Structure 1
Amino acid sequence: MSGKKNKVNALVPPLRFPEFRAIAEWEAPELHMISLPVEERVGDRRLTPVSISAGTGFVPQAEKFGRDISGNQYQSYIVVRTGDFVYNKGNSLKFPQGCVYDLQSSDDVAAPNVFICFRLKDGYEKGFFRHCFENNAHGLQLKKHITSGARSNGLLNISREAFFGVKIPTPGRAEQKKIADCLSSLADLIKAESQKLDALKAHKKGLIQNLFPRLEKSVPHLRFPGFQSVGAWTKVAAGHFFSNRIERGSSSLPIYSVTMTEGLVPRASLSRRIDDIAESSANKTVRKGDIAYNMMRMWQGALGVAPEDCMVSPAYIVLKPQNANPFFFSFLLKLPQTLQTLTAHSRGLTEDRLRLYYDDFAKVPLLCPSLPEQERIADCLTSVDKLITVQRQKIDRLRLHKKGLMQQLFPVLDEVAV
């Protein structure tokens, strides 16, 4: 594969595999020329009703919505078979003009008749077009057909004629297959690495379940050597382990926010605002190793250990550890049974308005081991967290690599004269 400067207005991608460099430029047939509408109704057959989700594809309705929502409309649903494509014209962040996925399962499914279903004609590679639609080949062309916002059912007002009029840059079948094989192998690698990530997360979940006492127990199922005969954990008020750090913020320190999944992270790394940040004089300083929690969402587990000196919103409580391992407590405070206790100590008229002030937090009884055992548990779980972070970063790099390849392997239709 190599880069090649395209002639003006030539429908040729920036990168082509060597065996196709001398072949003529790609064509751009409209979708109706290379596909057939799928309109077979389900009728009395019993198929799984599905929805189409951006970034995921086919999802059983019972899984997405918690129940089958087809109701009286089920019989008019469309039968979708392996290799058929379905267009959901609902907008999303990833696909503002709607998403298109092909069914890769061997089982037929039932899709709502508000979706547009179609099947490629012979001579066209499903894998190639799968990646075309993943690359949003349809999006920019459909954008001009959207004359208003989404309808009451959440779908964009894109007609079947407009959708089937979309032009898809298409090479010969051999090149289609080569591109499909390249991108599919990378997609398979990403899937395999994602499964490894899921396995690490499951391993961490299992460790937490076994390294902390279960509900109404005072001894964990698993203990590290050296602590097996120490005895039961004891309940101690949280104020014994943490004091309330009250230190005015400094403009020289970075601003951090808490997330539900990653703890305290730099605000600059977030794609949206998590909570309001006041002027630096009103912010609170957090020292490395402190635990900061959002007093409005602590009962949901919104907390994290500071990786460096930083500052946070006045809506946060900053806990200074004393004879406590902060990483151990970052796990302990997110256990379901602990969150239930924290909720009980929070103040507010409704769940949406609960607040957990330090004075109330300090009274919360926490079941804890000795400091050496805290440190051993924290070391174990943080090491798994590091593996999870490394694995997540690896997947992010692979996805970025795939995205870059797709940008180079497909020509941009609106930049050429077709």
Structure 2
Amino acid sequence: MLDGWKRRSLADLLEFRNGMNFTQASQGARVKIIGVGDFKDKEVLNDFSETPSITLNGKLNPDDLLKNDDLLFVRSNGNKALIGRCVLVSGITEPISFSGFTIRGRVKSDEINHSFASKLVRSPLFKEHLHRMGGGSSINNLSQDTLSEFCFSLPPLPEQRKIAEILRTWDEAIEKLEALRAAKLRRITSVRQRLFEAAFASHNRLQRARDIFEPVSERARPDLPLLAVMQDIGIVRRDELDRRVAMPDGDTSSYKVVRPGDFVISLRSFEGGLEYSTITGLVSPAYTVLRPTTEVVGDYYRHFFKSRSFIGRLDKLIFGIRDGKQIAFRDFGDMPIPAPPVSEQKAQTGALGCLEADLALENVRIEALTRQKRGLMQKLLTGEWRVNVEAD
């Protein structure tokens, strides 16, 4: 054991409480309830302006309220990647409680600093613990026992504070880059909107979607790799994904072939729902594969199908798309969409491509800093690298 470090478990240092499943009433006291939807991909949750409030049926136990410096964990969620995610609660000035899909952790020992604790439960060490508790796969449901059984070496308080301070500098640098990335993404969205609204305004350049694209059902190619259709990253090979995706059992000869330049209508169409392919492979027969019937610039329509100009018009055409309704080709095919000359498609795609390349650089910087921080956490939280607290 390192000098001054002690072997501890979270059960020694924190007390846990599951959130409540509240019953609403027509009148009575109102209170804000933090749910999984309020978790941000940041360490500290201190903005409750958009946190929903409900009128409670009955009185609220004071112990069901959050306090500053509490830790809040995602206990259960349809997205397994979120289970175990933790935020440090800060800046509370009004009654706020937490939902039944979360677990509150509250420091009960003066041996641990709350900021250090929040770093610890967001570290690779903690994620490895969850991985083991899940039997080598994503954990299905976080329990108080799983949290309590996490064991680690705890440094003295001065080292804890210094470690938390060092890691906070990385967090601040990453947050600045994320803000810059968000600004550049808004710029792309704005440019897309201007370009495609102008295209819609040129009525003589609009064509029905069915005159530009047609559904295809090329099959009987089980030798091709399986593809995943993802709204956040597009169309990729399933075997290259770093997330769990259900794989088919048995024969795939009925699966549809997707080729470079094709579009696939996503089964859950929240954001436009048409994904562009740059690779060859197979998708489930449930998908609709679209192929251009005339010369087009694929990237032009890739941008168009992600634009608010297209999504807004599609929303009006297909009621309920935000609830995950699949787009039928008969509905999509009736839509008038821009069809400018190919030379114009290339010019506009070039402009949008430059903005995308600039955005991609921010992603690279963020990923690099995140990797550095992850490696630094591993070194500092295990004591492999010690910090100098005497100089402070």
Q: TM-score, normalised by structure 1?
A: 0.65
Query: 3-state SS of the aligned residue for 1:169?
Result: strand
Assess, with a 3 A threshold, how the Cα gap between structure 1 residues 157 and 237 changes in structure 2: closer, same or farther.
closer
The within-5 A match list for 1:332-347 is 332-336=304-308, 338-339=310-311
Contact 1:347–1:354 (Cα < 8 Å) also in 2: no
The within-5 A match list for 1:79-118 is 80-82=66-68, 84-88=69-73, 90-91=75-76, 93=80, 98=84, 101-105=87-91, 107=93, 110-112=96-98, 116=104, 118=106
Assess, with a 3 A threshold, how the Cα gap between structure 1 residues 107 and 235 changes in structure 2: closer, same or farther.
same
The within-5 A match list for 1:391-402 is 391-402=362-373
What is the distance in 1 between the residues matched to 2:178 and 2:307?
25
The within-5 A match list for 1:164-313 is 169-213=153-197, 218-219=200-201, 234-245=205-216, 247-248=218-219, 250-251=221-222, 253-270=224-241, 271-273=243-245, 279-288=251-260, 290-294=261-265, 296-297=267-268, 301-313=272-284
What residue number does 2:122 align with? 134
1:393 offset after TM fit, Å?
Answer: 3.7
Contact 2:258–2:289 (Cα < 8 Å) also in 1: no
What is the distance in 2 between the residues matched to 1:354 and 1:51?
28
Assess, with a 3 A threshold, how the Cα gap between structure 1 residues 252 and 385 changes in structure 2: closer, same or farther.
farther
Q: Deviations over 1:86-144 (max 9, x none)?
A: 34472463575x56543343756633498545357667544322212223659959x99
Q: TM-score, normalised by structure 2?
A: 0.69
The root-mean-square deviation of aligned C-alpha atoms, in Å, is 4.6
What is the distance in 2 between the residues matched to 1:235 and 1:86?
54
Contact 2:213–2:290 (Cα < 8 Å) also in 1: no
Query: 3-state SS of the aligned residue for 2:187?
Result: helix
Is it true that 1:323 corresponds to 2:295 in the alignment? yes
1:264 offset after TM fit, Å?
Answer: 1.7
Q: Percent identity?
A: 18
Assess, with a 3 A threshold, how the Cα gap between structure 1 residues 120 and 45 changes in structure 2: closer, same or farther.
farther
Q: Which region of structure 1 is more displaced relative to structure 2, 312-321 or 179-188? A: 312-321
What is the distance in 2 between the residues matched to 1:344 and 1:116?
42
The within-5 A match list for 1:384-395 is 384-395=355-366
- Alignment partner for residue 374 of structure 2, among 377, 397, 403? 403
Contact 1:255–1:311 (Cα < 8 Å) also in 2: yes
Assess, with a 3 A threshold, how the Cα gap between structure 1 residues 213 and 69 changes in structure 2: closer, same or farther.
same
Query: 3-state SS of the aligned residue for 2:244?
Result: coil
- Alignment partner for residue 158 of structure 1, among 144, 147, 150? 144
Amino acid at match of 1:382: G
Gaps of 5+ in 1: 1-10, 13-23, 39-43, 145-149, 220-230, 413-418
Contact 1:233–1:369 (Cα < 8 Å) also in 2: no
Contact 1:246–1:285 (Cα < 8 Å) also in 2: yes
What residue number does 1:58 align with? 45
Q: How many residues align?
A: 354
1:26 offset after TM fit, Å?
Answer: 0.9
Contact 1:241–1:322 (Cα < 8 Å) also in 2: yes
What is the distance in 1 between the residues matched to 2:5 and 2:82?
25
Contact 1:299–1:343 (Cα < 8 Å) also in 2: no
Amino acid at match of 1:69: I
Amino acid at match of 2:178: S
Assess, with a 3 A threshold, how the Cα gap between structure 1 residues 167 and 87 changes in structure 2: closer, same or farther.
farther
Contact 2:113–2:161 (Cα < 8 Å) also in 1: yes
Assess, with a 3 A threshold, how the Cα gap between structure 1 residues 178 and 61 changes in structure 2: closer, same or farther.
closer
Contact 1:89–1:158 (Cα < 8 Å) also in 2: no
What residue number does 1:378 align with? 349
1:374 offset after TM fit, Å?
Answer: 1.9
What is the distance in 2 between the residues matched to 1:298 and 1:208?
20
Assess, with a 3 A threshold, how the Cα gap between structure 1 residues 382 and 90 changes in structure 2: closer, same or farther.
same
Q: Which region of structure 1 is more displaced relative to structure 2, 113-122 or 394-403? A: 113-122
Which structure has the bigger radius of gyration? Answer: 1
Is it true that 1:69 corresponds to 2:54 in the alignment? yes
1:319 offset after TM fit, Å?
Answer: 0.8
1:35 offset after TM fit, Å?
Answer: 7.2
What is the distance in 2 between the residues matched to 1:113 and 1:342?
35
Gaps of 5+ in 2: 18-27, 134-138, 384-392
Query: 3-state SS of the aligned residue for 1:257?
Result: strand
What is the distance in 2 between the residues matched to 1:241 and 1:95?
40
What residue number does 1:222 align with? none
